Amino acid sequence: MRNILITGGAGFIGSHVVRLFVNKYPDYHIVNLDKLTYAGNLANLEDIEGRPNYTFVKADIADLDEMRRIIRDYGIDGIIHLAAESHVDRSIKDPFTFARTNVMGTLALLQAAREYWESLPEKYEGKRFYHISTDEVYGALELTHPEGVDAPFSTRASSGKKHEAYGSLFFTEETKYNPHSPYSASKASSDHFVRAYHDTYGMPTIVTNCSNNYGPYQFPEKLIPLFINNIRHGKPLPVYGKGENVRDWLYVEDHARAIDLIFHKGKTADTYNIGGFNEWKNIDLIKVIIKTVDRLLGNPEGESERLITYVTDRLGHDMRYAIDSRKLQRELGWEPSLQFEEGIEKTVRWYLDHQDWMDRITSGDYLRYYDDMYTNR
């Protein structure tokens, strides 16, 4: 039996990865390690919590001694590392927490894994440290085609109506790092530490950088669940600046499928970009969400557009992210399974059908955070 440690497994992307591995690999023992901060929620995994091949451990990845104990006690031979502070706005307010978790936490995990694996007779044979990162480490691309042009390539995730690109350049695995926010700087640093542990100690590592994810179980500080919930309650929809920033969107289950494939078949010490070739300006995406939510709630078409409220732009707001994931398609045969319109419909329906899940987490500290972020902007 393989013993796989998945960090951040009670969060948004992590819970989808944990569920996939627990269900797909009954001969694996999946150890889910999560600190259960504000975005970690064990309710995301209620359907698998009783499985015999699943264990949850509450711990802080920045606690080196605890990482040593967990990796040793569970005989961990593979690590899928998703635990991270991930919201740019929070990093602007509190960069030190991001440095502690994303940099020092990753370093503690690397060191604990190195010490344990090097103590074994087989050393690094059959081991893998897989670090999940973000496209934000690459910086920002220029909006050279603000009107949108036909995209030079597409995947099944690309919009079925008219797939457009808003610039001539895309992030590839060779793009130089140029992070702009405290969040992306912390992730870039952690990426470098992972690669350094391969180059220095020979640890079998792998890094992936993914575009924006959407889907069920996402904490509603992020755009899509935030706006679905606000439309349901008739609350303002806060749009940064003019809403012209562009992001590439991927359904979270497709990201989990890619992680599974890369963990098992990816090349050691390599990097893979994961994305959907699915660029949307924020304001256009918001209008799709409004149209979908209004239809499913039985509201007149476009009724909730009146809730759009333009607020002061985020400090250092990157203009455009766009991932080129053709290497992953070419070398490992991965591509998304859901077209964007299908994914948005599925996502909106999930949040509307799970209002109890949303209501449980949008109270207390969340309300205080929301007021702090968007009041008087």
- Single out the catalytic residue among 136, 191, 254, 324: 136
The single residue listed with the structure tokens 């929620």 is: 41
- Whether 183 is catalytic is yes
Residue 257 has phi, psi (to 5 degrees) of -60, -40
CA separation, residue 141 to residues 208, 221, 308 (Å): 19, 24, 26
- The full DSSP string for 221-256 is TSHHHHHHHHHHHT--EEEETTS--EEEEEEHHHHH
CA separation, residue 315 to residues 81, 142, 180, 181, 359 (Å): 28, 17, 10, 9, 30
Beta strand extents in the chain (DSSP E only): 2-7, 28-34, 54-58, 78-81, 128-134, 149-150, 164-165, 205-210, 212-214, 237-240, 246-251, 271-274, 279-281, 308-311
- Whether 135 is catalytic is yes
Query: Please, what is the Cα angle at 219 between 326 and 241, to 5 degrees?
Result: 75
- Single out the catalytic residue among 166, 183, 240, 321: 183
* Pairwise CA distance, residues 80 & 297, whole Å: 38
- Single out the catalytic residue among 135, 191, 253, 335: 135
Total H helices, total E strands in the chain: 13, 14
Pairing of strands 2-7, 78-81: parallel
Give catalytic residue positions: 135-136, 183
